[in-house]
Structure 1
C-alpha cells in the first residue's frame, strides 16, 4: 500500500489562521479544516498547495512553504472512493509573497464551492470556538496556536 501524504497550508496573517469549511455534499460535510489536499504522485509540497488554491479558491497566490510545523500520522484518512487508508498529514507554514494582496476583511480568498463553501480568518486564540472540525484538524490547529503563542519569533518571524 502506498503512503498517502496530505499537505496543509498554515497561512497566518495578523495573528489569524485561514480556515475553510467543506461543502455539504463532501465526505466531511460542513466541517472546518486547514486548506490542503493529498499530494499527487507528480507533485511536490509547493505544487500541491498551489493546485489547491488555484482549483479551490480560483487564486494563483504568490506564497511559499517555509517550514514544516507538524507531521502527524493518521491511521484513517478517507480518500475519494470513500475508503479509509493510513496517511501522513504535513502542515506547512506558508508565507504570502510580496505583491500578493488578500483582503481579509472582505473574506478573501473566497472558495469556489467545489470542495469548500466558506473561508474564514480565525484569530489563533479563538480556534477553540470553531466547530465542527474535519478529521484531526482541531488537534493540528490547537498545536499550531500553541506553537505561535509560545515560539512566535522562532516559527513566525515578522
Structure 2
C-alpha cells in the first residue's frame, strides 16, 4: 500500500506502508484472543493472531502462514472485519480478516502466553492492544449475530 504526504518543500513524497494482517478466528460464536508474551511493554495485552505481509506475498497467504506459525492451525480466510487501522506512527496498517479453523485444528499458544475464546459479551474482559480495539468494536455485532 502506498501513501503520499507533503515534504518540507510542499511536494508529495511517496512511501510504502507495511501491511500487518490479523485473523479474527471465529468458532461457535466466539473469537480467539491471544495474549502477547513480548515485548515487555505490551506483554499480557491481547491481540488477534497475525503478522507482517512479506514482499511478494498476498495478505491471505501471509495470514494463513502466520496462523500456522503462531498457533499450529490451518484456517480458511473470509471477509475483512472493520477498517484499516494505522499503526507504528503511520508506517504500518493493520487489516483484520474473519477466519475459521479447518480440519478440527486446535490452536496452541506457540508464541503467546495465553489463548481465550471470547463471546461478544466477553470482549471487554481483556485489555486489547490499541490497534486491535477498533476491530473489537466491529467484531461485536458479528459475534452477536
TM-score band, normalised by shorter chain: 0.7 to 0.9
Alignment partner, residue 50 of structure 1: 64
Q: Which runs of 4+ in 1 moved over 3 A?
A: 24-27
CA separation of 1:122 and 1:60: change in aligned 2, threshold 3 A: closer
Any conservation in 1 of the 2:50–2:66 contact (CA below 8 Å)? yes
Q: Is the partner of 2:124 in helix, strand or coil?
A: helix
Supply the distance in 2 between the matched residues of 1:147 and 1:16 (Cα, whole angstroms). 10
Any conservation in 2 of the 1:73–1:86 contact (CA below 8 Å)? no
Q: Do residues 32 (structure 1) and 8 (structure 2) align?
A: no
* Residues 11-90 of structure 1 aligned to structure 2 (within 5 Å): 11-26=25-40, 28-57=42-71, 59-61=72-74, 63-74=75-86, 76-77=87-88, 84-90=89-95
Q: Which has the larger radius of gyration?
A: 2
1:117 maps to which of 96, 113, 125: 113
Any conservation in 2 of the 1:46–1:64 contact (CA below 8 Å)? no
TM-score normalised by structure 1 residue count: 0.73
Supply the RMSD in Å over aligned alpha carbons: 1.9
Q: Do residues 96 (structure 1) and 101 (structure 2) align?
A: yes
Q: Which has the higher strand share?
A: 2
CA separation of 1:31 and 1:45: change in aligned 2, threshold 3 A: same
- CA shift, 1:73, in A, is 3.3
Q: Is the partner of 1:68 in helix, strand or coil?
A: strand
- CA shift, 1:27, in A, is 5.3
- CA shift, 1:33, in A, is 0.4
Alignment partner, residue 136 of structure 2: 141
**Contiguous gaps of at least 5 residues in structure 2:** 1-14
